Amino acid sequence: MNTEIKLDVRLKTILEETCQEYNLKSLLLADKNGYPVCHAGKIAHSGIAAIAPELIRVGEHAVRLGEYDSITCIALVLEDSHLMVIKDITILEKPFVLVMNTVTVPKGIRKLIDNLSGKIGQAMAAD
């Protein structure tokens, strides 16, 4: 991979390719506090980034209650019948959150997340 290309451009390319491959409306990568790192696709619901910190807090509360090993997956049904799927991931030993806007949960979501985490990690490590 060409490291002369800025990290934000590499990340956006990775997210855009994932959106196309899995037919996602949009994909947002946020840090552990819910602040956007990069996104691809049209984010019709501008509040996604604003509510991500609260969703993460709820997920962390569930972890403390021992219901899940991690946030695992939170899905919200949006008013346009799309789903907002929130998943915590670890990249280069740092916590991040993926927010997917989709009509249905992508088939092979575990593979999607593993591949995406790996590609993002490679891009970040090369920087």
Residue 43 lies in a domain: yes
- Which structural domain, as residue segments, surrounds residue 67? 7-126
Segment 65-94 mean pLDDT:
71
The CA-CA-CA angle for residues 37, 43, 44, to 5°, reads 150
**Tens of pLDDT, residues 39-67:** 898 765 555 666 666 666 666 655 555 55
pLDDT at 73: 65
Residue 104 lies in a domain: yes
Please answer whether residues 4 and 14 qualify as being in contact, where contact means their C-beta atoms are separated by less than 8 angstroms.
Answer: no
| pTM of structure | 0.76
Locate 42 and state its tokens: 């049209």
Residue 28 β-bridge partners? 39, 99
Residue 36 has pLDDT above 80, yes or no: yes
Mean pLDDT, rounded, of the chain: 78
Question: How many domains is the chain built from?
Answer: 1
pLDDT at 109: 83
Main-chain phi, psi angles of 87, to 5 degrees: -140, 130
- Looking at residue 60, which CATH number applies to its domain? 3.30.450.30
SS (H, E, C) the chain: CCCCCCHHHHHHHHHHHHHHHHCCCEEEEEECCCCEEEEEECCCCCCHHHHHHHHHHHHHHHHHCCCCCCCCCEEEECCCCCEEEEEEEEECCEEEEEEEEECCCCCCHHHHHHHHHHHHHHHHHHC
